[in-house]
Each structure stands twice: as structure tokens, then as C-alpha cells.
């Protein structure tokens, strides 16, 4: 798993690699009449296009020449410059995404391979678009401005909503292929929302015990696939996708770190969910 803030992903990297968690896109946005914001990523740049106005948008990301990349949108606080964010990301403090809260917030974070679509709501302001890839600070970034729309679009109502909190998940434990699901962070800390598939309930229960014990590598050996619903999001961040993951039993988890280095899964931030037809 490759992330904007490398330290937050170190504990999950071995697990993701073991089960191929983010090898293919597992979610997509429902086709709507929402304005479209485009993010075009290649080995040397990220370019923002389409509609850059406030309200609900369908973010269409197209990536070529990069592997296991994530597209990230960061909303800067008024008066904060992109250069200040870049400086933070290049420092030791930037390895913890919670330290970025003084500069702004992570409002969108979606894994991308090829072409993917995810819906979110943008507020007016100055943004930085980044590409999370590898364990160092992001080398690809650009800034852009979202203007206030005269009549902001509203996202379609989801059929289900899952929320992250300290330290757990709220919402249905059964998701359906083809349904539109919103993923929100209602915690005070930055959280991610991912899930890895296992063979059956017995394997899921075993994986949870291993994660609680801090044995991520062993838990990863039980994985047979997975889905990335939302990357690290700041409090209040949300995005929604249509579920297209393979039906089966999954372990939903957040692999962020606390300030003392403990993984959120060690604090109980995992649970068993099912994806059905």
C-alpha cells in the first residue's frame, strides 16, 4: 500500500502486499449528472481538469505509468500556501497525517490503477492534488482553486453509510454489489477504510485476533483479495462509490498509527463484514 504519509502505512504495507489488497480497483462511482473533476496522473505529473467549483463532484482519475498510486486532495486553510504543505510533507513531522491538520485537511484519498471514479463534495478554497506512491514524500503535486458555485450540486443519497470513529466502524456489516456507499470519517484522528477478503468466517476471526495482537504479516497470509474504500481522511472527510468488490467475507480495518506508534487495528479498529450480490 502506497500512501501520502509513509509512516501511517508502514504497519499495513506487509499486509497489503501479502493479500494483494490494492492490485485492482474495487469501487467505482455511479454514473450521474454530477460535474466532473478530472485527475490525470503519469510518471512525471498530476494534472487537474474539468469542473473546479464547489459542491458534489464525480472525481475521475486516470493513471498511466504508475503502480499502486493514490490520488489525494488536500484543502488548505485560508492563508496557508502550497509551499508550506510541501515543506511539512518533506519533514519528519509530515510522516504523521494528523500533524497536517494545522495546515488543512485531507478531503479525498482514493486508490487508482488505470481509470477510477469516486464521488465527493468540495468546499471553495485552495487545494493541493498529490500522488501518494512509495514510502517517501509525494514527488507529484499541483495546486488549484475551487470557486464557489452559484448552485452547488448535491451528491446522490447513498444506500448505505459507513463511518470511522476512535476506534471502530459504524454502519452496516453487509454491503451489496452495485449499491452506492458513503464512507465518512467522524473521528478526531485521521482514519482510513480498507477491507481484505478471507476464505470464510473462521479465517476472518483468526485474522482479527492476529491484528489485535499486532501480527499483521500473519494476518496478511489469510488474505485472498481486497478493496480500498477510502484512504486516510481528515475528520469530516467523506467520499462514496458503487461497490463492485467480489462477494465474500472481509475484514474491514484502519491501519493508521497512533502517536505512540500503535496501529489502530491493535486498538480494535477492525471488524468482519460481508459483500453479497
Rounded to two decimals, what is the model's pTM?
Answer: 0.88
Q: Would you give the distance in Å from CA 254 to the centre of its chain?
A: 10
Q: What is the pLDDT of residues 181-210, one digit of tens each?
A: 999 999 999 999 999 999 999 999 999 999
Total domains in the chain come to 2
What is the span of the domain harbouring residue 239?
Answer: 160-276
φ/ψ region of 96 (left if φ > 0, alpha if ψ in -120 to 50, else beta) reads beta
Indicate the burial class of 215 (C-beta count within 10 angstroms; 0-12, 13-18, 19 or more): middle
Instruction: Name the domain boundary from 146, 178, 204.
Output: 146
Strands 160-165 and 180-185: parallel
Please indicate, yes or no, if residue 155 is contained in any of the structural domains: no
Q: What is the pLDDT of residues 160-169, one digit of tens each?
A: 999 999 999 9
228 and 142: one domain? no
Please indicate, yes or no, if residue 151 is contained in any of the structural domains: no
172 and 109: one domain? no
Strand partners, 28: 242
Q: What is the pLDDT of residues 232-250, one digit of tens each?
A: 999 999 999 999 999 999 9
Amino acid at each position: 500500500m502506497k500512501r501520502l504519509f509513509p509512516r501511517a502505512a508502514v504497519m499495513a504495507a506487509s499486509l497489503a502486499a501479502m493479500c494483494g489488497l490494492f492490485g485492482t480497483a474495487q469501487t467505482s462511482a455511479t454514473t450521474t449528472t454530477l460535474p466532473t473533476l478530472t485527475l490525470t496522473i503519469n510518471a512525471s505529473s498530476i494534472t487537474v481538469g474539468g469542473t473546479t467549483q464547489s459542491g458534489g463532484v464525480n472525481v475521475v482519475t486516470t493513471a498511466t505509468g504508475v503502480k499502486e498510486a493514490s490520488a489525494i486532495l488536500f484543502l488548505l486553510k485560508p492563508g496557508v500556501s502550497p509551499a508550506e504543505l510541501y515543506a511539512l510533507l518533506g519533514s519528519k513531522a509530515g510522516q504523521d497525517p494528523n500533524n497536517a491538520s494545522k495546515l488543512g485537511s485531507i478531503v479525498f484519498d482514493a486508490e487508482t490503477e488505470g481509470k477510477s471514479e469516486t464521488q465527493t463534495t468540495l468546499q471553495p478554497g485552495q487545494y493541493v492534488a498529490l500522488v501518494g506512491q512509495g514510502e517517501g514524500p509525494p514527488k507529484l503535486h499541483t495546486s488549484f482553486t475551487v470557486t464557489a458555485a452559484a448552485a452547488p450540486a448535491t451528491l446522490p443519497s447513498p444506500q448505505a453509510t459507513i463511518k470511522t470513529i476512535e476506534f471502530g466502524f459504524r454502519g452496516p456489516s453487509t454491503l451489496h454489489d452495485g449499491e452506492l456507499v458513503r464512507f465518512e470519517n467522524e473521528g478526531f484522528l485521521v482514519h482510513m477504510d480498507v477491507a481484505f477478503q478471507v476464505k470464510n468466517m473462521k479465517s476472518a476471526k483468526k485474522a482479527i485476533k492476529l491484528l489485535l495482537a499486532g501480527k499483521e504479516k500473519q494476518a496478511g497470509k489469510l488474505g485472498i483479495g481486497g478493496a480500498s474504500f477510502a484512504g486516510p481522511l481528515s475528520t469530516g472527510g467523506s467520499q462514496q462509490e458503487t461497490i463492485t468488490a467480489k462477494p465474500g467475507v472481509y475484514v474491514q480495518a484502519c491501519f493508521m498509527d497512533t502517536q505512540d506508534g500503535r496501529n489502530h487495528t491493535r486498538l480494535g479498529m477492525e471488524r468482519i463484514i460481508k459483500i453479497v450480490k
